[in-house]
Amino acid sequence: MLAVHDLEIRVGARVLMDDVTFRVDKGDKIGLVGRNGAGKTTLTKTLAGQAEAANGKIERTGEIGYLPQDPRAGNLDDTARTRILDARGLGHIVVQLRQSTLDMASPDAAVSQAGMDAYTRLEDRFLALGGYAAEAEAAAIASNLALPDRILDQPLKTLSGGQRRRIELARILFSGADTMILDEPTNHLDADSVVWLREFLKGYAGGVIVISHDVFLIEEVVNKVFYLDANRQVIDIYNMGWKNYLKQREADEDRRKKERVNVEKKATTLQLQAARFGAKASKAAAAHQMVARAEKMLAGLDEVRVADRVAKLRFPEPAACGRTPLSASDLSKSYGSLEIFTAVDLAIDRGSKVVVLGLNGAGKTTLLRILAGVDKPDTGQVEAGHGLRVGYYAQEHETIDVNRTVLQNMVGASPQLTETEARKVLGSFLFTGDDGHKPAGVLSGGEKTRLALAMIVVSGANVLLLDEPTNNLDPASREEILGALAGYSGAVVLVSHDEGAVEALNPERVLILPDGVEDHWNPDYADLISLA
Ligand SMILES: Nc1ncnc2c1ncn2[C@@H]1O[C@H](COP(=O)(O)OP(=O)(O)OP(=O)(O)O)[C@@H](O)[C@H]1O
Ligand SMILES: [Mg+2]
């Protein structure tokens, strides 16, 4: 369990939150919410012991399982199965058991005997840790997260970012930790897995802190809501489920709004009075004090207003291009013996909107990577039409160079861009002042999404290839991005589980993977989106 006293968290000179006190007990299912960049990830990292607090105390009892927003853990040569089983110390035992089985069959009597001895010793430890039942439990969790046996036997280094993330999630769910801290666990999950995860978390006996942009998950799972208010740098604790929280929060905001109006009224009164007094020399000092007081009152308010705004976005006019800027013929791709798709033909006309549908593993991300020129197809080719400029948004934010600053990334995306222009675009994506000099690696999930999209904006792309562009976004930023998408006049190829995103795009066509057949869009396909 977790107990937090008077916690203060800073990044650089900025205070993200102060005076935070709470407990997480058995059976607490806590939804941690707050806008992008509020500090949710930083808080959970600190709770998990991977970052230092500026002040305060964190007491941890029992094991904590932490799923970071951007996991990069584990020995890359281990198989996925070993990584998961190791959560209960079983992974390497299973590997050694296999080796000793091989040794036992050796024609060399000494090797065979050593194998037999090792086997007995290992099997005892294996059984003590839960043995075959535990192994079956791990396999069941993995399969519910769309990780079949075939993938479990691969070394981590051969897996995609999405698969790695699901493996980390499986590992934590399997670990039986007393407290689980999950940062955006539904990213990269298909609809079936999300439903399964909800049930799993609901039934979990330990404590859970979950950050998720999936409102259904929050609604069904949590019995407490922690609202991290970035303007006030505090956490408001609501000991209630999601629906009641929403009502309560609205009431709270109403109250605060009224207080704000009140303060404004008082400040105006002070200012008027000061103006009258100011005319007379005898009352100049009082007038001065009144003005100062009014300014102080209003300064407190402005901060709230500034921080409340969201990105006002418009994707720019795309650069001119021919009738069919991007086409591909006979594309196929396999990983090892696994065929992902074969003979996919595709023509993207100027301004056309296409949605790519297919279940997890059907190759949607792979197709986009091939179209973007990041991966090579095994057969077939991608043909660039006249004037083609691709804007690729990668699910893993891999178009961002994490070692360079935000501004350097912008200039990298469009070399002729001046710093002033770059700052202007960044401003419309809610990056202010010093943010430009942040190394991109420290950005929050939602901030990375915004930067990646800003980079596309300045590149003048006429074909956007978007892979799950709404993951990680808070509701207000999501609305902005979808609004911009709806108004964009260039071509878009979209991969998304988000029905709202597809609706905003208003596609004419759909490409279904792995078959690679195209069809006109019709509303029946909408039902498939969340399943895909
Ligand atoms: N080392 C650092 N230096 C400067 N700023 C940092 C550093 N680390 C994090 N930040 C900033 O702290 C803020 C909080 O980041 P955090 O990742 O905790 O947000 P979040 O609430 O998880 O957001 P999201 O919903 O987008 O994931 C962000 O503005 C981020 O850019
Ligand atoms: Mg985060």
Ligand 1 atom closest to the Cα of residue 45 is: 18
Cα(406)–Cα(454) distance, rounded to whole angstroms? 10
Ligand 1 atom closest to the Cα of residue 39 is: 18
Confidence at residue 41, expressed as pLDDT on a 0 to 100 scale: 95
Name 89's Cβ contacts closer than 8 Å, sequence gap at least 6: 129
34 lines ligand 1 (CB under 6 A): yes
Predicted TM-score (pTM) of this structure? 0.82
Task: Yes or no: say if 469 and 450 are a contact pair by the CB < 8 Å rule.
Answer: no
pLDDT along the chain (532 residues), means of 10: 95 91 96 94 95 94 91 80 89 88 88 88 87 90 92 87 89 94 90 92 96 92 95 93 93 87 87 81 81 83 54 77 93 84 92 88 88 93 93 87 94 87 85 88 92 88 93 86 89 91 92 88 83 63
The DSSP secondary-structure symbol of 524 reads G
Name 515's Cβ contacts closer than 8 Å, sequence gap at least 6: 341
11 lines ligand 1 (CB under 6 A): yes
User: Left (φ > 0), alpha (ψ -120 to 50) or beta: where does 433 sit?
Assistant: left
Confidence at residue 306, expressed as pLDDT on a 0 to 100 scale: 47
Q: Return the ligand number nearest the Cα of 40.
A: 1
Closest CA to 50 of 32, 27, 73: 73
Confidence at residue 286, expressed as pLDDT on a 0 to 100 scale: 83
Q: Calculate how far, in angstroms, residue 180's C-alpha sits from the geometric centre of ligand 2.
A: 16
Name 493's Cβ contacts closer than 8 Å, sequence gap at least 6: 348, 354, 355, 356, 368, 371, 463, 464, 465, 466
Ligand 1 atom closest to the Cα of residue 38 is: 21
Distance of CA 411 to the CA centre of its chain: 25
Task: Yes or no: say if 171 and 87 are a contact pair by the CB < 8 Å rule.
Answer: yes
Cα(198)–Cα(192) distance, rounded to whole angstroms? 10
Q: Calculate how far, in angstroms, residue 347's C-alpha sits from the geometric centre of ligand 2.
A: 37
471 lines ligand 1 (CB under 6 A): no
Tell me the sheet residues that pair with 390.
Answer: 463
Cα(37)–Cα(126) distance, rounded to whole angstroms? 44
Task: Yes or no: say if 2 and 179 are a contact pair by the CB < 8 Å rule.
Answer: yes
42 lines ligand 1 (CB under 6 A): yes
Ligand 1 atom closest to the Cα of residue 213 is: 25
Q: Return the ligand number nearest the Cα of 33.
A: 1
Q: Among 7, 9, 11, which residue has the most ligand 1 atoms within 8 Å of its CB, making it the best to mutate?
A: 11
Confidence at residue 304, expressed as pLDDT on a 0 to 100 scale: 55
Pairing mode, strands 390-393 and 463-467: parallel
Confidence at residue 307, expressed as pLDDT on a 0 to 100 scale: 47
Query: Measured in Å, how far apart are the chain's first and last C-alpha atoms?
Result: 37
Going from the C-alpha of 144 to that of each of 66, 166, 176, 196, 204, the distances in angstroms are 19, 10, 17, 7, 16
> Which residues are near ligand 2, the ion (C-beta closer than 5 Å)?
40-41, 69, 444-445
Q: Calculate how far, in angstroms, residue 312's C-alpha sits from the geometric centre of ligand 1.
A: 21
Q: Calculate how far, in angstroms, residue 408's C-alpha sits from the geometric centre of ligand 1.
A: 19
